[in-house]
């Protein structure tokens, strides 16, 4: 059974055992516009909850990507580096950013479920 | 101050525009298709740009007006044919650029198209310089609509027969019902196209006709990627009061005869710079890989010394890669010079390159 949770920085994380797959939400891509460049954290690097874990650039501006929870990066998605347009077309599935080994699963408690996130995104407007 | 809206604001909303404030106006940055798709539509079909925020300054007068304007602008207005246009600058005595503009000789005077952010200041400067001798009208009752892209000529000609006979950088008055429309064959996207000056109360109806004939609304976002690929300067980025036309590599826009004889504002500095050389110059910069280097990015030589700064940088959809322009010290301005761009604390390789990034397809001659 997998579960998907969401951060206030508009990242999603799919949890399967002690592995989390992280990406940015559809709502985030709509705010950003056409994404043309992405920088991902290196495999083997450690990322800290709410810390920097890459960059996306749209035709308009650069935005930081944050990791919703801490862990060690196991894999990053080279397919979106080669074709950043995939992030716009399928942000919450094919265009995942990186997979990490979850360090502390209690960090997941602070994240939102789908319903909470949708409400948050609609109200925050950004 | 209340934000200004153009006559097409309602139409932009209907087409799901995302708005930004630009020079005090609420302008569409993009519509639902997004910047990349809008950019490609302009390159392959025909894009409609609301540029009504730009200034349309009509100045009326006789031969003395031509002489007085030649004391200001580095253009050969004496020999400029009726309904022909030239790209030029309003400068200060140090040849710093107040604004870049298009000046067209019209029946009874001149029409000058000014940048939105500069137009009120330009008007003040010109009023003073011309000493209130001439009738000047910064016309707020007219909209300006640019139609750009390879199918623009056919689309516009189907509404106004004869526009396809205009050659590049010329214009004329056209009539539609009781409307007097001034059209020039020009633009700022690197594509063949037109700029249409039309009364505000007719602008929406006219734009809808363009849409019905196959053109699509395009936002300022794509206008920026299009002009950057075409290697064209944007005021406030490549051009400003701290830059001269020589530094901006726009010497071609200064008439040869005027450059020799001088007699326009800033001419001493221009002639000095031509004779003595300049320290910095505008260049094209092509980052290696996909990294985007934006405005204010520092440019380094291989010895890790700062040699310049980027003034515009984005992703070029037609080039399918990053593109940038900036200023570098003259000795590093040669094509294929390797430089480094500092982005987010890291240095990335790039090369000085020729402009444009994307080859223009302007229509040159008239086809009578």
Per-residue pLDDT of chain B (368 residues; tens, 9 = 90+): 799 999 999 999 999 999 999 999 999 999 999 999 999 999 999 999 999 999 999 999 999 999 999 999 999 999 999 999 999 999 999 999 999 999 999 999 999 999 999 999 999 999 999 999 999 999 999 999 999 999 999 999 999 999 999 999 999 999 998 999 999 999 999 999 999 999 999 999 999 999 999 999 999 999 999 999 999 999 999 999 999 999 999 999 999 989 888 999 999 999 999 999 999 999 999 999 999 999 999 999 987 899 999 999 999 999 999 999 999 999 999 999 999 999 988 999 999 999 999 986 566 554 43
Spatial contact of B362 and B169, defined as CB atoms under 8 Å apart: no
Q: What was the pLDDT predicted at B362?
A: 60
Give the domain extent around A13.
Answer: 3-117
Q: What was the pLDDT predicted at B359?
A: 83
Among A30, A40, A52, A60, pick the best mutation site for testing chain B contact (most B Cβ within 10 A): A60
Q: Which residues of B touch A58 (CB under 8 A)?
A: 35
Spatial contact of B325 and B231, defined as CB atoms under 8 Å apart: yes
Q: Which residues of B touch A55 (CB under 8 A)?
A: 344
CA distance B57 to chain A (A): 31
Q: Is residue A37 part of a domain?
A: yes
Distance CA B190, CA B169 (A): 13
B36 touches chain A (CB under 8 A): yes
| Mean pLDDT, rounded, for A97-126 | 92
Which structure tokens are listed for B229? 């690929």
Same topology, domains B9-54+140-229 and B279-353? Answer is no
CA distance A15 to chain B (A): 30
Among B16, B28, B36, pick the best mutation site for testing chain A contact (most A Cβ within 10 A): B36
Q: What is the CATH number of the domain that holds A15?
A: 2.40.50.100
Distance CA B196, CA B146 (A): 6
Q: Inter-chain contact A34–B35, Cβ cutoff 8 Å?
A: yes
* B102 beta partners: B87, B113
| CB-based contacts of B187, cutoff 8 Å, min separation 6 | B146, B147, B148, B193, B194, B195
> What count of Cα atoms within 13 Å lies in the side-chain half-sphere of residue B107?
4
B221 touches chain A (CB under 8 A): yes
Distance CA B140, CA B148 (A): 23
Long-range contacts of the stretch B259-262 (C-beta < 8 A, 24+): B259/B74
| Mean pLDDT, rounded, for A109-117 | 96
Buried b (16+ CB within 10 A) or exposed e, B292-315: bbbbebbbbbeeeeebbebbbbbb
B322 touches chain A (CB under 8 A): yes
Closest CA in chain B for residue A83: B290
Task: Name the region of B98 (left: φ>0; alpha: ψ -120 to 50; beta: rest).
Answer: alpha
Closest CA in chain A for residue B316: A59
Among the partner residues B225, B290, B291, nearest to A59 by beta-carbon distance:
B225
Spatial contact of B171 and B83, defined as CB atoms under 8 Å apart: yes
Query: Which residue, among B220, B223, B209, has the nearest Cα to B43 in the 3D structure?
Result: B223
The residues in A 61-80 lying below 8 A from B, measured between CB atoms, are 61-62
B175 phi and psi angles, rounded to 5 deg: -120, 140
What does chain A come to in residues?
A: 126
Query: Which residue, among B154, B291, B112, B146, has the nearest Cα to B222 in the 3D structure?
Result: B146
What pLDDT, in 10s, does the model give residues A14-60?
Answer: 999 999 999 999 999 999 999 999 999 999 999 999 999 999 999 88
Which structure tokens are listed for B39? 């950019």
Q: What is residue B24's three-state secondary structure?
A: coil
Spatial contact of A53 and A72, defined as CB atoms under 8 Å apart: no
Q: Inter-chain contact A36–B36, Cβ cutoff 8 Å?
A: yes
CA distance A85 to chain B (A): 10
Which structure tokens are listed for B47? 């894009």
CA distance B43 to chain A (A): 17
Spatial contact of B255 and B75, defined as CB atoms under 8 Å apart: yes
Q: Is residue A122 part of a domain?
A: no
Pairing relationship of beta strands B55-60 and B85-91 according to DSSP bridges: unpaired
User: What value, to the nearest 5°, has the Cα angle with vertex B269 and ends B266 and B270?
Assistant: 80
B289 phi and psi angles, rounded to 5 deg: 75, -155
Q: Inter-chain contact B290–A33, Cβ cutoff 8 Å?
A: no
Taking the CA atoms of residue B26, residue B27, residue B33 and residue B37 in that order, the dihedral angle to the nearest 10 degrees is: -160
Distance CA B189, CA B168 (A): 14
* B136 beta partners: B59
Q: Inter-chain contact A37–B291, Cβ cutoff 8 Å?
A: yes
* A110 beta partners: none
A37 touches chain B (CB under 8 A): yes
In chain B, where are the structural domains located?
Answer: 9-54+140-229, 279-353
Residue for token digits 């890790």? B304
Distance CA A61, CA A84 (A): 14
Say if domain B9-54+140-229 classifies as CATH 3.30.1360.120: yes
Domain count within chain A: 1
Q: Is residue A62 part of a domain?
A: yes
Spatial contact of B308 and B332, defined as CB atoms under 8 Å apart: yes
A83 touches chain B (CB under 8 A): no
A31 touches chain B (CB under 8 A): no
Q: What was the pLDDT predicted at B368?
A: 33
Among the partner residues A33, A37, A88, nearest to B292 by beta-carbon distance:
A37
Spatial contact of B29 and B19, defined as CB atoms under 8 Å apart: yes
Burial of B316 (0-12, 13-18, 19+ CB in 10 A): buried
Distance CA B254, CA B260 (A): 10
Spatial contact of B339 and B307, defined as CB atoms under 8 Å apart: yes
Q: What was the pLDDT predicted at B302?
A: 84
Q: Is residue A31 part of a domain?
A: yes
B368 touches chain A (CB under 8 A): no
Q: Inter-chain contact A84–B29, Cβ cutoff 8 Å?
A: no
> What count of Cα atoms within 13 Å lies in the side-chain half-sphere of residue B42?
37
**Protein fold of B279-353:** Elongation Factor Tu (Ef-tu); domain 3 (2.40.30)
Closest CA in chain A for residue B20: A60
């Amino acid at each position: 059974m997998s579960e998907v949770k969401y951060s206030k920085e508009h990242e999603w994380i799919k949890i399967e055992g002690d592995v989390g797959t992280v990406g940015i939400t559809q709502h985030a891509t709509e705010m950003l516009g056409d994404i043309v460049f992405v920088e991902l954290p290196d495999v083997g690097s450690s990322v800290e909850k709410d810390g920097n874990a890459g960059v996306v650039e749209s035709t308009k501006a650069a935005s930081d990507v944050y990791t919703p929870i801490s862990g060690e990066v196991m894999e990053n998605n080279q397919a979106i580096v080669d074709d950043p347009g995939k992030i716009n077309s399928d942000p919450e599935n094919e265009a995942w950013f990186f997979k990490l080994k979850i360090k502390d699963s209690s960090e997941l408690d602070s994240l939102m479920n789908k319903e909470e996130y949708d409400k948050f995104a609609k109200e925050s407007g950004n | 101050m209340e934000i200004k809206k153009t006559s097409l604001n309602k139409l932009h909303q209907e087409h799901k525009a995302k708005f930004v404030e630009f020079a005090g106006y609420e302008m569409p940055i993009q519509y639902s298709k997004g910047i990349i798709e809008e950019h490609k539509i302009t390159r392959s079909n025909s894009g409609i740009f609301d540029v009504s925020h730009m200034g349309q300054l009509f100045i009326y007068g006789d031969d003395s007006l031509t002489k007085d304007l030649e004391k200001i602008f580095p253009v050969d207005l004496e020999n400029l044919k009726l309904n022909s246009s030239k790209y030029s600058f309003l400068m200060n005595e140090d040849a710093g650029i107040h604004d870049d503009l298009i000046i067209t000789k019209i029946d009874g005077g001149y029409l000058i198209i000014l940048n939105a952010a500069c137009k009120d200041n330009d008007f003040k400067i010109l009023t003073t310089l011309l000493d209130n001798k001439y009738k000047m009208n910064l016309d707020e009752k007219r909209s300006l609509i640019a139609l750009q892209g390879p199918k623009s000529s056919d689309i516009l000609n189907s509404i106004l027969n004869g526009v396809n006979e205009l050659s590049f950088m010329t214009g004329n008055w056209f009539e539609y019902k009781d409307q007097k429309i001034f059209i020039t064959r020009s633009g700022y996207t690197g594509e063949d196209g037109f700029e249409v000056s039309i009364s505000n109360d007719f602008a929406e109806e006219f734009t809808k006709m363009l849409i019905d004939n196959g053109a699509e609304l395009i936002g300022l976002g794509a206008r920026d990627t299009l002009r950057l690929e075409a290697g064209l300067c944007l005021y406030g980025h490549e051009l400003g009061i701290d830059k001269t036309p020589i530094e901006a590599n726009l010497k071609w826009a200064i008439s040869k005869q005027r450059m020799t004889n001088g007699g326009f504002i800033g001419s001493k500095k221009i002639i000095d710079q031509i004779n003595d050389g300049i320290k910095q110059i505008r260049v094209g910069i092509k980052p290696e890989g996909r990294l985007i280097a934006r405005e204010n990015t520092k440019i380094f030589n291989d010895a890790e010394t700062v040699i310049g700064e980027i003034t515009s940088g984005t992703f070029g959809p037609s080039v399918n890669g990053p593109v940038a322009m900036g200023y570098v010290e003259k000795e590093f301005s040669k094509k294929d010079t390797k430089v480094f761009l500092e982005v987010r604390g890291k240095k990335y390789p790039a090369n000085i390159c020729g402009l444009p990034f994307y080859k223009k397809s302007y229509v040159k001659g008239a086809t009578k």
